[in-house]
Amino acid sequence: MEVFRTREELSRWTTERRLRDRVLVPTMGALHRGHTSLFDRASDLAGETGEVLASIFVNPTQFGPNEDFDAYPRQLEQDLTQCERHGVTAVFAPGPGEMYLPDASISITETKLSNHLCGASRPGHFDGVCLVVAKLFLLTQPSAAVFGEKDFQQLAIIRRLVRDLNFPIKIIGAETVRESDGLAMSSRNTYLSPEDRKQAPVIQQTLAETAEAITSGSMKTPADALATMRSGIERARGAKIDYLAAVDASTLEALSEFGSSPIRLLAAVYFGKTRLIDNVGVPLSPSES
């Protein structure tokens, strides 16, 4: 008989037995190459013997009253074709009444990572994400789940959810997939007018240039980085900045200086009514790596 005295020992044991069994990719549908790259990653993880489960559910609890829940693109048939092409073994696509009982009364609130960045302009958003992701984890019992780094704050919060509620699930962050001009793939890109679509790559370009300047040592402080990001993005016609941030990549805390913490630059920018988010990591300079 094996006896486990620590969470780590228990988790290692459960992971060894369950990893590659079932890999979950939660989505809200309207699938694009960003999502299918998550399926591909999940297929690699699952290997020959494992299975990839995709969920498709436009989750009402993560949308604010004035957000785009009703307008959010829904295209189940097309999505199912994409899933099939990318090695998904099964899809969970619950109907609107399936996930929440009308008198449901339990919520989940993450209190440290959720209040700033996207949480500041989308109050309650991450409560809704935590709730649906916890329910999906419980319903689907995966050994691992894959989330895109494009929603960097969401990824950090889900890691925290898993850590604090002891879900025996490995969370995998997958790199953002981009259009050829650098714009991060998003279901919301379809809302952009042709002119806004032309301007929108400025977000990634500015973040990437700033990251490079930090790595090369020519940009010395977070304040300088934020000022450069602001002036770069504001040059684009129609861009309205929601937030810009230079944070510690693991705690999401705003940095007051560049030291040994891993740096992540994040931005949320409106073009018209469409709010786009993006982020880039700052590679270590060769002398530090």
Q: Which is nearer to ligand PAF, 35 or 264 (CB)?
A: 35
State the amino acid at position 140 in one-letter form: T
Per CB under 6 A, the list member of 59, 82, 199, 279 interacting with ligand PAF is: 59
> From the CB of residue 134, how many other CB atoms can be counted at a distance below 10 Å?
17
35 included as an active-site residue: yes
Contacts of 14 (CB under 8 A, 6+ apart): 168
Q: How far is the CB of 65 from ligand PAF (least distance, A)?
A: 17
Contacts of ligand PAF in 134-153 (CB under 6 A): 151
| 157 touches ligand PAF (CB under 6 A) | no
- Could you give the string, one character per residue 2-41, with x where binding to ligand PAF holds by CB under 6 A and - elsewhere? ------------------------xxx-------------
Report, in Å, the least distance between residue 25 CB and ligand PAF: 9
Q: How far apart are CA 193 and CA 196, in angstroms?
A: 5
The greatest distance separating any two alpha carbons of the chain, rounded to the nearest whole angstrom, comes to: 67
Q: Does 133 engage in binding with ligand PAF (CB under 6 A)? A: yes
Is the CB of 184 or the CB of 226 nearer to ligand PAF? 184
Q: Is 132 in the site for ligand PAF (CB under 6 A)?
A: yes
Q: Which residues pair with 25 in a beta bridge?
A: 54
d(CA 48, CA 45): 9
Question: Which of 35, 86, 116, 125 is an active site residue?
Answer: 35
Please say whether the beta carbons of 152 and 178 come within 8 A.
no
Closest CA to 203 of 141, 265, 128, 111: 265
| Binding region for ligand PAF (CB under 6 A) | 26-28, 59, 62, 129, 132-133, 151, 154
Among all residues, which ones are annotated catalytic? Answer: 35
